[in-house]
Chains A and B, each alone.
Chain A
Amino acid sequence: MEEERKEKIEEINEKVNEVMDMNLVESYIKDNIIPFSYEDKQYRVRRPSLKERNVVNELRIKKQVGMLKAKNKDGSFVYSSEEDLIKLYKERGVDLNELQSKMVSLQNKRNQTMLKLGKALKDKASEGDLKVYRDEIDNLKEELQVLNIEKTTYLEFSIEQQMFIFVYSYLTSMITEKKEDDKWVSMWKSYDEYLIADEKFINIVSFHAALIISNNSLT
């Protein structure tokens, strides 16, 4: 009885949380500016302007060329590209090309199963049949996710990944604003200031920035 009551309360709490979060998401799509509060202060992230995107792009080129050129005292390169890392891992017995092929094969298998499930839905197949395909797709998705994380982890320190993080962080530092005397002003005067900011706050800002910044701005 007590267990049932607890379960019921948990269920209600979950529903209330979902409604609250849904209202929040609804507020995020109303405009291209997302306000939020942190420790009783008001902040917002806004969409980066074309000028800001151009500034970041120029910096990206400069930084990428710098990373490609940087050498150690012994003449070897300091940073590795994805291609370099793939070669290096292969020498150490980790075949990332094989991992990539496995991912493509799983994606193709998932596409084929999606077609089968789609056709089964169109043909109004039984719920049992639909569930078989559904579970297969779910398993394939999970397998793909695990491989994707594995690949990303291996290539985390490549120049390409580092550039992605740099551009994303730089844009985030530019588009975050705080409210001061009823006026919105830049949160950080420079990227260096952003880099030493409180990590908890950065994570909150990053979440909101990710809702704003499109993948196109990052490449």
Chain B
Amino acid sequence: MNLDRAYILLRKLAKSEYHQSIYSKCKELNFKLVKNDIDFTELQIDYFNLLSFYSSLSTDIYLGDVDKIVLTDFIYEDAYMYYKTNKDNKDNINSSGQEINMNNKILNKKKDTYQKSQWVFKTPKRVK
């Protein structure tokens, strides 16, 4: 397994009915999702973020804000959530799609979707 596959599977896990139900119950009953209380790993932090991402998406589907079709593709999910986050900030996006501040200065915002970067290993990985 490589990191990209691990991440895709993590996303599938967080999206699953079982993990979503555990997430919802843990907020209600106040129990721990993982063994450790502090010092979370990179993967655990991604998992928590994804749980919250899918919980929010499910709420919107339930409220009828978006159709279930959104769940058929990761790109649909990302695009919808990106739109949801930025639709009220349209004034903060210039005509080229760059995010700007109040003084029209372009912001270097790092990430908007759940894209993971490649890690550098001893033998760097190349795409065919």
Asked if A118 and B10 sit within 8 Å, CB to CB, the answer is: no
**A169 is contacted by which of B9, B69, B99, B122 (Cβ under 8 Å)?**
B122
B97 partner residues in chain A, CB cutoff 8 A? 107-112, 115
Interface residues of B in 1-56 (CB under 8 A from A): 1-3, 5-6, 9-10, 12-13, 34-36, 39-45, 47
Stretch at the interface among A2-10, A62-70, A160-168, A185-193: A160-168
Name, among B5, B70, B73, B79, the residue most crowded by chain A CB atoms within 10 Å (CB to CB). B79
- Interface positions of A (Cβ within 8 A of B): 18, 21-22, 24-26, 28-32, 34, 47, 104-105, 107-115, 117-119, 121-122, 124, 127, 130, 133-134, 137-138, 145-146, 149, 152-153, 156, 161, 164-165, 168-169, 199, 202-203, 206-207, 210-215
Minimum distance in angstroms from B124 CB to a CB of chain A:
7
Asked if B42 and A121 sit within 8 Å, CB to CB, the answer is: no
B34 partner residues in chain A, CB cutoff 8 A? 29-32
Asked if B36 and A32 sit within 8 Å, CB to CB, the answer is: yes
With both beta carbons as reference points, the residue of chain B lying nearest to A213 in the complex is identified as B42
Name, among A24, A114, A118, A213, the residue most crowded by chain B CB atoms within 10 Å (CB to CB). A118
With both beta carbons as reference points, the residue of chain A lying nearest to B42 in the complex is identified as A214
Asked if A117 and B76 sit within 8 Å, CB to CB, the answer is: yes
Q: Which 6 A-B pairs have the closest CB atoms?
A: A118-B83, A108-B97, A117-B79, A112-B97, A111-B97, A31-B35
B3 partner residues in chain A, CB cutoff 8 A? 207, 210-211
**A118 is contacted by which of B69, B80, B98, B122 (Cβ under 8 Å)?**
B80
Minimum distance in angstroms from A132 CB to a CB of chain B:
12
Asked if A22 and B13 sit within 8 Å, CB to CB, the answer is: yes
B112 contacts the other chain (Cβ, under 8 Å)?
A: yes
Asked if A114 and B82 sit within 8 Å, CB to CB, the answer is: yes
